Each structure stands twice: as structure tokens, then as C-alpha cells.
Amino acid sequence: MTEDRHIDLSALAEEPVAVLGLGKSGLAAARALQQCGVEVWAWDDAAAARDDAIGAGVALRSLETAPLDAVRFLVLSPGIPHSYPTPHPVVVQARAAGCDIISDIELLLRAQTAARTVGITGTNGKSTTTALLGHILTDSGAPVAVGGNLGVPALSLPALGAEGIYVLELSSYQLELVPSAVFDTAILLNISADHLDRHGGSDGYVAAKKRIFAGQRRGHTAIVGTDDETSRRVRQELTVSGSQTVVPISAHGRVAGGVYAEDGWLVDDRSGMAARVIKLDQVATLPGWHNAQNAAAAYAAAATMGMAREAIAAGIANYPGLAHRQELVDVVDGVLYVNDSKATNADAAARALECYDDVLWIVGGRPKEGGINALSAYFPKVRHALLIGEAADEFALNLNGRVPLTLCGDLGRAVATAAKLVREAHSNGNSAPTVVLLSPACASFDQFPNFEARGDAFRDAVVALAGTHTAPLALAKGAA
């Protein structure tokens, strides 16, 4: 539950505040500031975004000609480059004027100092971990607000009192814009190559992720994945510093003093007792080893905040799942249709492909660096690849001779082709594939505004298919 109160930003009313970027988070920030009596200078380079802001009652002012030395700070949308590959001109002017550049997350935490905060980051898994932890804590009856990079913008969240907990998903972009934020509990799940152009290379990307632990001291908790080499180094650095409590987590077996998955169980070894918590392979909404890592992180966070083991296990067991993250949207003629639209890079797609055998794989979009080269170990699991978007021709060259494939072009044709292949298998007396998996390993921006729109389009196309549809969650639980 949450308290129905707006974030109080009235302490900022003495000077104007500039807001650059009026997408979801920027528009929410501008509106929240105006509602608290702050003079807002808001701008977006896109005319459509400016029109939306006008419709929402937000005052516009071109920031390229504004005297930025007169504003308190610049609230920057995390999607706008501030360093690499080239900083936005307004950012350059703000720095020259000595204007601090921050995010809406920073504003939230400056305003809500009494509530506890959990920050969650990682190349993959942060959305599921955020949603799962929010679900567990809400089940306990605590006042909880969940948002940030996941769903609800920071300044659209309600104000919480001293008993409240903010659970915030944080991207590397956002972490570079929280100069004074200190999280009571900070989670780093994993690090693999992503967004390198925005951070000037891998060192900048890792530094942004490590920012989640900045300022922590005794009484704070750092929860760190140990399943990749970079995160293991981060864990070692934190352990040596001794500033905060460090809890290691793993999806691949025992890690002394931490929380880990072993033999299908989630195990709590924080006190050295290796206590079994819950059998993870019976939780249909958390398939695969990567979700074992997410469950370990969420458990560790809830446990260090004082929740009982049994209560956390109950929250994990009844977790409903998260849209676009291996979301079982339907079962048609006995075949699972899984929406993993959030898999916008090869590493994320690998986590889905690992969970299934005999797959009709819908893949493609705007390719990331490296394409699907890292996924070759999973190609034997793919009965047929259905290629979409800008990456289709490139991926066809990679898959040709290794996996049967069809160039489908768009998502609607890919779903229709998958259903046709299922029907042909049935009519020929062959076994049908077990799953039709949308796990694109690509960004969505060639054909959709975001991965959510792509996942919604997949869901709509599946629901419209002819055939026998089975309630998916009931079936999945029955199969567990």
C-alpha cells in the first residue's frame, strides 16, 4: 500500500528549475515541480513532446537561449547524452554556467529523506528483481512505492513516511545523474557489455553501474552478483573497503555468506547455516537460472530489511510475473507463446533461450553491437527462426545453414508464420515445438516506439490466432 500524497518540492521554489526532455519522466518532473510552486523552464527538441507538455499545462522555454546561470539546476532526461557520444548543446551550456545536472531520481531522494530506499541495477534482470522485491515487500504490509526506470517515473510516486520503502530500478544513464543519492540497500545483479557508446566504453559503463554503492557506510547493504567476472571484482572491492554490509548472490551454486541457488533451491547462507528457502523450479513465473539470480537478490534485500524467511518465500511463490519479461501470454494448441520483448540484447535473449527446448524463435529489430554471435550455443534449441526488422538480413547470414529460417519482416507475419508451422507439425503427425518465443536480442526502435509496444503487439497477435487457447498461468502452474 502507499500513502496518497504528492512529493513535496516546494523547498525549491526560490529559483527556477530547468527540465530538458519531456518524455515520461521529464514531463512528470516538470508537472511535479510546477504543482509545488516552482518556476519551471521546460523544453524538448521534439515538437510532439512539447505539444504533450502544453496539453499537460507545463510552461515551455527554449533552453538553448536561456540564462542557465539563473536556474537552480537542470533536470535532464536520462535518454539525452550528457557526455558521450556527444553532449547535448544545452548540457554544454549548463556546465559552462556552473549549473548542476541531475535526474528526477535525485529530486525524489532529496525530498524523501525519511523513507528507506532500495536501488537496483544490472545489465539484465533489474526489472524483474525490482518488481519481485516490490511484490514481496507489499505482501508484508509495508508502505512501498516501485518505479524509476521500471514503469512509474520517480516524481509520480507518492510521498512515503519513515516506514515507507522506495524500490527503484536504475539504469546506467540514471546512475550518472544522482550525484548525492545514497541507497540504504543497493543491488548490482550483473554486468555485461551494453550502452558502451553512451559511456565512452566499458570502463565508463562499469563506473556508472558502481555508482549505486556510492556513499554507503555502516548500516547500509550492498547486494552483489557473483556470476560474472566484472561483478565479482566489484564485490571484492566493496568487501575490502568494509564500508557497508556486502551480501553476495549467485544463481550457479554456493557462495559462502550469501544467498544462492543450488539443486533447484534458493538457499540463505548469510549466517552460515545454508537454510533452504523455496524450491525455485516450482515458481512458474520465474523460469531459468537468471531468475534464480533475481530471486536471490530480492530475497537478500527483503531479509536484510527484517522480513522473515517464510514471508519472503510466500511472496516469491505468489509472484505474478512481469510483462515483457518471459511473460507467458497464451497457450495455443498446446504451444506456449512467450513474450520476452524486454530482451533487447543477446545476453538477455540467452537467458530466455536457455529455459526452453524446441523453440520457434522470433528475433530481430534494430541490432546491438555483436548481434547474435554470442548465441550460437543455443541454436540447436531452435527449430525455426522467424526474422524481423532491420537485423533480419544480417541475422539470416549468421543463421543460414545452422537453423531453418524465414524472413518475416514484421512481428504480425512472424506470429502468423509460427502458428502455421505449429499447424503443419500437427497435420504431419510430428511433435509440435514447445514454445513460440519472442526474444528479439535487438532494440525495438526500427518498428516500435519501445519494447513495451513491441510486446503488446505480440500479445495482440497471439490472442487473435485461431485455435484452442488455454489459460496460460493455470497451465504453467500445473506443469511445474
Give the phi and the psi of residue 305 in degrees, each rounded to 5: -90, 5
CATH class of the domain whose range is 105-317? alpha beta
The pLDDT of 211-240, averaged and rounded, is 96
The pLDDT of 337-361, averaged and rounded, is 93
Q: For residue 188, is pLDDT > 50?
A: yes
Which band of pLDDT confidence, cut at 50, 70 and 90, is reported for residue 201?
confident
Predicted pLDDT at 287? 86
CA distance 149 to 75: 15
Q: For residue 281, is pLDDT > 90?
A: no
Q: What are 461-472's pLDDT values in tens digits?
A: 999 999 999 855
Query: Using N-to-C axis directions, what is the helix angle for 451-463 and 411-427, rounded to 10°?
Result: 40
- CATH classification code of 327-471: 3.90.190.20
Domain locations in the chain as residue ranges:
11-102, 105-317, 327-471
User: Which CATH superfamily includes the segment(s) 11-102?
Assistant: NAD(P)-binding Rossmann-like Domain (3.40.50.720)
Nearest to 367 by CA among 348, 395, 341, 340: 395
Q: What are 251-277's pLDDT values in tens digits?
A: 999 999 999 999 999 999 999 999 999
Predicted pLDDT at 472? 55
pTM over 0.75: yes
Q: For residue 449, is pLDDT > 90?
A: yes
Mean pLDDT in the chain? 92
Predicted pLDDT at 480? 27
Cβ neighbours of residue 148 closer than 8 Å, sequence gap 6 or more: 105, 130, 154, 168, 169, 170, 174
Which band of pLDDT confidence, cut at 50, 70 and 90, is reported for residue 236?
very high
The pLDDT of 33-43, averaged and rounded, is 96
Q: Give all strands of the β-sheet with 73-76 in edge-to-edge order.
A: 40-43, 17-20, 73-76, 100-102
3-state helix, strand, coil in the chain (%, to 5): 40, 20, 40
Q: For residue 66, is pLDDT > 90?
A: yes
Predicted pLDDT at 284? 80
CA distance 86 to 452: 28
